[in-house]
Amino acid sequence: ASELNNYKTSYMAFYLIYKEYPGDATNANRYFNEASYINGNGDSKIKPISDSSSESLLSWYHLTLAKLIDQNTIKSVNDPLLPGGIHLNSNTPVTTLENTCYAPAHISFLEGKGYGSQIGVYDPQLPTGVLNSNGLSIGTHGTAACTAPGDPPAGYSIHATTASILDTKIDDSYGNSGNMLGRESSECQTTGTYQISSTEKGCSLFFSFNDS
């Protein structure tokens, strides 16, 4: 819970300083005197991937350059798997939650069965229409959204019991409301109730930054 809140604080601090969101910032190269391929598109939505950029990964690099997180992210601009100069970095934070990693993203690219499944992000199947904000996708791993040491597992990576405890500590304890949402499934949460009897790692979460 502290880890999540610390990242949220760092994210909001970046916005207060630069008036743009990390990963989405259009003038990051000027802020940090860096070369090309580190700017976002400035639409206020952190996209896990687009034609030639992963703002999700880039956000960690922006926070590192701004010295707002203690994370040694490294820029990579020529990923052969993707076209053009790619907004990527390596060594994104691995969570303390069952060896998965965080992917900053706008919820519109994660909820339902839409864009996420097309871009290497394991589609969280979140409740739709509940939130409209950037936040952290937790418990998913995909090549376009998360690169991290320790080989985080693919697919959904959190037990429902863990998700329930976390949601109770920092939100309203319900998986379909508030600032933390859980994947809708029999292995995670249904109608807001976390399926704590499940023994599968079937959960992914979205933690809102409340920036809408």
Cβ burial, residue 35 (10 Å; 0-12/13-18/19+): exposed
Q: Are 163 and 205 spatial neighbours (Cβ–Cβ below 8 Å)?
A: yes
Q: Phi and psi at residue 56, in whole multiples of 5°?
A: -60, -50
Q: How are strands ordered across the β-sheet holding 134-140?
A: 101-106, 134-140, 205-208, 180-182
Measuring CA to CA, how many Å separate 48 from each of 39, 90, 163, 165, 197? 14, 14, 22, 27, 32
Q: pLDDT tens for the chain, 212 residues: list them.
A: 998 999 999 999 999 999 999 999 999 989 998 776 688 889 999 987 654 567 888 888 899 889 999 876 666 554 444 444 455 666 677 777 777 778 888 888 877 644 444 444 446 688 888 999 999 988 775 555 566 655 555 567 789 999 999 999 999 999 999 999 998 989 999 999 999 999 988 888 999 999 87
**What predicted TM-score, i.e. pTM, was given to this entire model?**
0.86
β-strands 101-106, 134-140 pairing: antiparallel
Alpha carbon 148 to its chain's center: 13
Pair of tokens at residue 208:
């809102």
Other CB atoms within a 10 A radius of the CB of residue 70 amount to 10
Determine the pLDDT at residue 61.
85
Q: What are phi and psi of 163, to 5 degrees?
A: -60, -40
| Residue whose tokens read 């090309």 | 36
- Is 58 within 8 Å of 89 (Cβ atoms)? yes
